[in-house]
Amino acid sequence: MAKRPLKNIGERTVLGFDFGTRSIGIAVGQEITGSASPLKAINARDGIPNWDEIAAIVNEWQPDLLVVGLPLNMDGTNQEVTFQAKKFANRLHNNYGLPVETQDERLTTADAKSQLFAQGGFKKLTKGNVDSMSALLILESYFENQYGS
């Protein structure tokens, strides 16, 4: 991927990832608005995605930063999937040469399900919708933590 000029912090395009061992939700957001939109969820096998699918999304959106949700226990301690998410974040950085940050994702799945149900009932609660909505919530949480509300 060719190097692009660096944008000022606050003006960057950011891709967010909700890491899972079977599915990885993806959202895109803009720092300037502090908002995000769900893109899609891609299948993974034991946490390993189809890297060609991720490359296509990275090439399409040309992000300046990648944010990976960090699944933690409710008390803030690591769990097995925490280490897998960190490994995924490292691979993103190594594959695309982009800065990668992690964001606490506790309760995002429950919040995503609640929001989707409010939008359309049970028919909205597909795995892909939940995962991409979770990625959206991870990004918006990241923006809020970085820049305030």
Given this model, what pLDDT does residue 117 score?
64
In a domain, 69, yes or no: yes
Give the contacts of 22 (CB within 8 A, at least 6 positions apart).
43, 44, 45
> Which residue is it, tokens 């919040």?
111
Q: Residue 133: its pLDDT value, please?
A: 82
Tokens, residue 125: 């609660």
Per-10-residue mean pLDDT of the chain, 149 residues long, equals 60 93 94 91 92 96 96 84 94 96 81 69 68 89 80
Q: Is residue 57 part of a domain?
A: yes
Asked if residue 8 belongs to a domain, the reply is: no
Domain count, the chain: 1
Residue 7 located in a structural domain? no
Q: What is the pLDDT of residue 130?
A: 74
Planar angle of CA 5, 8, 9, nearest 5 degrees: 130
Confirm whether 3 is domain-assigned.
Answer: no
In a domain, 4, yes or no: no
Q: Are 108 and 14 in contact (CB under 8 A)?
A: no
Distance CA 3, CA 19 (A): 26
- What's the pTM value of the predicted model, to 2 decimals? 0.83
How many H helices and E strands in the chain? 4, 6
Does 6 map to a domain? no
pLDDT at 42: 95
Amino acid at position 29, single letter: G
pLDDT for the residue 43: 94
Residue 40's domain comprises 13-147
Which CATH number does the domain housing residue 55 bear? Answer: 3.30.420.140
65 occurs within a structural domain: yes
Helix (H, G, I), strand (E, B) or coil at 7: coil
Residue showing tokens 């699918």: 53
